[in-house]
Amino acid sequence: AYLQAYDLLLLLAFATTIGIFVFPLPFALIAMGRPHVLLRLNLVMTALAVSLLVLLVWQAGLVGAGLSAVIGAVS
């Protein structure tokens, strides 16, 4: 019954794994006294993530949503 969602679940698991490793990076920027860099990165990556989500879901459906999650996790 869940075989159709296998690819999506793999992508979401991969995105979560990436998120675990990049989690401390924003705090490092704040600790280095560069919160403005963090703000700029967040603005750019949010715009990119929303654009990619719309494009990839339109092109690839649920797998596109999973790919968007992986790309968002890298940011």
Annotate the chain with DSSP letters as a single string: --GGGHHHHHHHHHHHHHHHHHTTHHHHHHHTT-HHHHHHHHHHHHHHHHHHHHHHHHHHTHHHHHHHHHHHHH-
Domain that holds residue 12: 3-74
pLDDT in tens, the chain (75 residues): 788 889 889 999 999 999 999 999 999 999 999 999 999 999 998 998 899 999 999 999 888 988 988 888 887
Domain count, the chain: 1
d(CA 48, CA 59): 16
